[in-house]
Each structure stands twice: as structure tokens, then as C-alpha cells.
Amino acid sequence: MDLSGKHIVLGLTGGIACYKAAELCRALVKEGATVQVVMTEAAGQFITPVTMQALSNRPVYDSQWDAREDNNMAHIILSREADAILIAPCSADFMAKLLHGRADDLLSLMCLARPIDKVPLLIAPAMNREMWAHPATQRNLAQLQVDGSVILGVGVGDQACGETGDGRMLEPLELLQDVIAFFQPKVLAGQHVLVTAGPTFEAIDPVRGITNLSSGKMGFAIARAAQEAGATVTLVAGPVSLPTPRGVTRIDVKSASNMLQTAVECAQKASIFIATAAVADWRPAQESDQKIKKDGSGQTPQLSFVENADILATVAQSARARSGALFCVGFAAESHDLLAHATAKRIRKGVPLLVGNIGPATFGKDDNALLLVDAAGASEMPRNSKLVLARQLVAEIAARLPTPLH
């Protein structure tokens, strides 16, 4: 549970997106957070306090005159208890109120009274596309960011008014991921991380090919963890059907040759390269332009193979990697003798860090166990979820970078 021990004040302002706040509240609680809901009077026109109380398991506050607190200062007590205040949905009117420091209801009063250096303010805007695009709204957004608020962005699509465009509140699970990411240590802030993930597919004919059992889950988890850690992330993905992690730029490829070309190009701007993809070692020497058919003779087609270029070694031997401008991390999926194979592969590839795992024990699964091999020796990461391991690996990489991060 990624938010275990966190206390979130969830503020609701007037807007049809309040219906999403119910699911968001439930999701935050399921991730281990305690949630205190504070609503404006306008929010109460769209969803009832009873609903939010049932989902949060806590009484809802909706008035600055609430007498439940001994000192009658709910705006002080609630803000001091919070690890963060999340306004979702946040209307255009409420953003303007925050900008000018107005405090004529409990939620705005609480936001103004919060200790700015201890209680961050996260804003999930929700409004009509024209309201979102209006210069006044954009000015307010820019100034709120300057003042230290975190703007979580908006979605694009159909709106309740019947129009289509920017301004929708992000979906609850998107906001949940953003909140989780906010609390992760920013150990890769300022870094540009390139990740390759998934299998490759080497075509034999238009309907057949050579591939492997890699699901891409480990690589996608690493891309997510790197983005959570503050990095700009580019994910080069083989043929998998996984959703793109929030905030990550994804480039889909198919063959090892496609992946090589894309990785070499993207590595020119990266500062960290993590090669998690299970790249095919060989490809058919010639691809048939038509499906190879059985002829009834019982004879199998004769196929010859050529070796694919080594993507990790190619990037690791580039001028940027040799100069120290690009830190390269390799992965080794083995079936046996993991330590011996991973140690030899690290030396052969010429990388500072090699991460090994047993392929058959992890392909397609949501958990894994890793072996980290560097010049000093080897250390184990016990079996855990791939996302937890990805976050641990990101921390290990950050600690090994030649230039300390600030």
C-alpha cells in the first residue's frame, strides 16, 4: 500500500467532476491513506457529505463554523494534521480564490492557513474547455505554481456540457498515481532515463515469427519508478499490451533492429540507459514475403539465422557512455547459474551495473527477485512486486551515478 501512513485532506469544490472524487477517495483509502474530506457549499450541490463520509470512514467538514473542534478552529487543526491537501475537483473559481488568498469558506481558509513548507497543495483542475483555455485561468495556474502549488494537469475528452476538449478532471486512478508519485523521493531529478522493455519479434513470414515470453512488466515498472523519482523518461517498448506509465514518453518497436535504431537515437539525449528488454539473439536471414505453407511432404522449411546486434553493448561502447555522460545498466534473464552468467555478461558488455534474474521464474508475473552485479561484487534483492523492486533499483542506480544528484 503505497500511501500507508499518509494523511490526505481531500477538498471538493463545485463541479460535476465531484462524482469522480468518490472513487478517488476510495482508491486513496485502499492504498493505505487516511482521508479527511472537506467540501465547499457548491460541492454539496453535486455530491452529498453522507457519500463521502461512508467512503472515507470519517466525518466530513463543510463549514468554517463547525464546532466539533475544541478550539473551533477546524481550518488550523485539519491543515496541521495533513501530509498533503488535494483539491479534486478544483474549479476555476476556487483557483482564483487560492491565487488571491481569499478565505471565505473552510476549504479556502484551510489552504491559506496551512504551513506552506510542510503541507503541500495539490490541485486537480476541472472545468469547461473554454474556461480552461481562458487567459485568466492560465495566468492563475502559472502563478499558483510559482506560489508552490502542484498542478496535476487535466484530461482531454467529452465534457458534461456536451463539448469536447481540455479541462476534464483526470480520472481517479490517474490522480492516484500522481499522488503516489508525489511522495516518492526525487533521487533522479534532472536526469533523462531511457528504458527498453518487453520482447522483440523477428518475422519469419507475414504471420509467423520468433519471440520470447517477456511481458515487459519489469521494464514498465522501472519506467514508472524513474518517472516517480523525478526523471524525464523515454520507454522503448517491444510488442506488449501494457498501458503506458503516467508521464512517460513511449515509443513502440517490433524487431531487434527497430529497437537498436531507436535506442541509439534516444541515447543521445539520455543520461541513464536501462536495458531491460529481452532482445532476440538471432533473426531469420531472410523473411518470406508470403506465408510459408505445408506441402504435405512432411518436410520442414529450412531456415537460416543471423545474429542480431547487441543493443546494450552498442550503447555502452558509444562515446557518451565511455565519457561518463551516459550510465548504462543491463539486464540478464537466465535459466541457470545466474551469478556466473550475470558476472560474465557485465564484463562482456562493459557496463557498471548488471541486473540478473531467472527468466522462467518471472516472465509474465507481477513479482520478481533480482541480483545486482557490479565491480564490487553481487547483492540480492529478495522477491517482491516488480514496482517495489523497480523503486529499489532506481535508488541503487541513483547512488551509483558518477555525479551526485542535488
Sign of CA dihedral 30, 31, 35, 41: negative
Q: Is 161 a catalytic residue?
A: yes
Active-site residue, from 90, 161, 266, 328: 161
Bridge-based pairing of strands 34-39 and 7-12 is parallel
Nearest to 25 by CA among 12, 44, 40, 41: 12
Element (H, E) at 92: helix 92-100
Q: Which residues contact 77 (CB under 8 A, 6 or more apart)?
A: 69, 71
**Rounded to 10 degrees, what is the CA torsion of 269, 234, 240, 350?**
50
Bridge-based pairing of strands 377-385 and 367-374 is antiparallel
- Residues β-bridged to residue 197: 237
Exposure b/e, 109-142, CB count within 10 A at least 16 = b? bbbebbeeeebbbbbbbbbbbeebeeeebeebbe
Sign of CA dihedral 128, 129, 132, 135: negative
Nearest to 274 by CA among 344, 215, 326, 214: 326
Catalytic residue set: 161
